[in-house]
Structure 1
């Protein structure tokens, strides 16, 4: 996955949170018959509106790199979609078995789970790292040493990194981890840099670091 796509995902993921709050308020005022049945999304991607003519046709790029054309379940007359026009980017979810039927990403818990699973499948993070990101204690770590291993995956480079992690409640502890970092962000893990680090309280044997693309 390119850095451009990753940056778009991060931006849309953040923007979707605000949009969801408005959408949920709007839906609360509708009659039950107007609400579409909820579906549990298992796919997520970036959609580019192709056409708005009753139905909204969208070009979708999955996070795996696959592309296809789908249509939003919501109708173009929906007040919450009034500003859509060709070229607009959307964060969408879909059922891999019925990809032509798209939904706006309004269930952020499900989208986050799908996004996490995508990262794991692509080998960019491990299930243990995802667990720390979602449920661990967030702290700050000062990089004391960093060395590339020479391994790479897509736009990411594998590094070995030494940290001094500062506990939120006080004190610090050393950590040594291997991680995949966006190539554009390697300067952010140079010795002396400060990064976000996650660990489980009571277990400082494993740390996951988070470094956004540069």
Structure 2
């Protein structure tokens, strides 16, 4: 059943997804990391799973996860509440979350490079814990500060935990299902911003081999995670 990624905001998920593809694959700004100014810059770790252009991602949608055990989330999800912080113990992330919308041209906003230690929640979509896919984005690095908030995102593994705190005081915990890397021109829009009948989390940053010519990363690293009780 087709659902709107934006929930009460009313943005059709297909339109939202198209904007995301434009942002991540074509514009050349935002989540693109800046080259670190050192003789031997440290590069971010990359996930083991690499989806080629035009290939179907190996990341299972949240609804395909095992929902029969004690960690099965409630089908109704939680009431809407904006996220405030995100914690990922394996990679030492404990960051504040800012709200993001869309730019006048329809592309998705991203944190500015001079605030690259912050993560950003795509507010037109579901909040973490609501039914649907909540999307949080962040930079991988910045020339101004070096490694940024999601520098080590590619080092996550299935089973790792992500905790998002919300304005209502309720922390929500997610279990990582998969971590994959996708060329920006093959961004899996439907799996990230598409409909979902249960609460899910998608965390996105840049990845791949930094291109010294274009001063950008060619890929997106995406973490697919599911809510646990």
TM-score, with normalisation over the residues of structure 1? 0.28
The structure with the greater share of residues assigned to helix is 1
Q: Which has the larger radius of gyration?
A: 1
Q: Could you say which structure has the greater relative contact order, defined with CA pairs below 8 angstroms and 6 or more residues apart?
A: 2
The structure with the greater share of residues assigned to strand is 1
